[in-house]
Amino acid sequence: MNIKEELKKGSSAKLILSVLAKEELYGYMIIKRIAERGDNTFMLKECTLYPILHNFEVNGYVKSYFVEAEGRKRKYYKITGRGLKRLAEVKDERGAYSSAVGEVIGAKPSTILT
């Protein structure tokens, strides 16, 4: 995986953990929530979402369970304590990164999104 992909995964991971920190969701709804919250700025693709979700599950950042509804078995994901800790770390990393970028381009800290 190249740097670009890593960065992409990094921001995607933050988005996914952020929405899961608010509510327990299944894959389709996670994409939907991210799109809604970002006013359709962030359109997460399925081929990005599922590998990240399953990585999170293996690493203990999220837990999953199946819920049967409308004749379908949906897999819900729930953030764990470890996942919340990871989210805080990712936020810090991104914050530091944005500040550094701001320093370089001369932008005021308040104008930089983290």
The reply on whether position 98 binds other proteins by CB under 8 A is: no
- Cα separation of 15 and 19, whole Å? 6
Count CA atoms within 13 Å of residue 79 on its CB side: 20
Nearest to 16 by CA among 41, 44, 40, 39: 44
- How far apart are CB 72 and other proteins at their closest, in Å? 5
The reply on whether position 36 binds other proteins by CB under 8 A is: no
The reply on whether position 28 binds other proteins by CB under 8 A is: yes
The reply on whether position 65 binds other proteins by CB under 8 A is: no
Return the structure tokens found at 1.
């995986």
Binding site for other proteins (CB under 8 A): 26-28, 45-48, 50-51, 54-55, 58, 66, 72-75
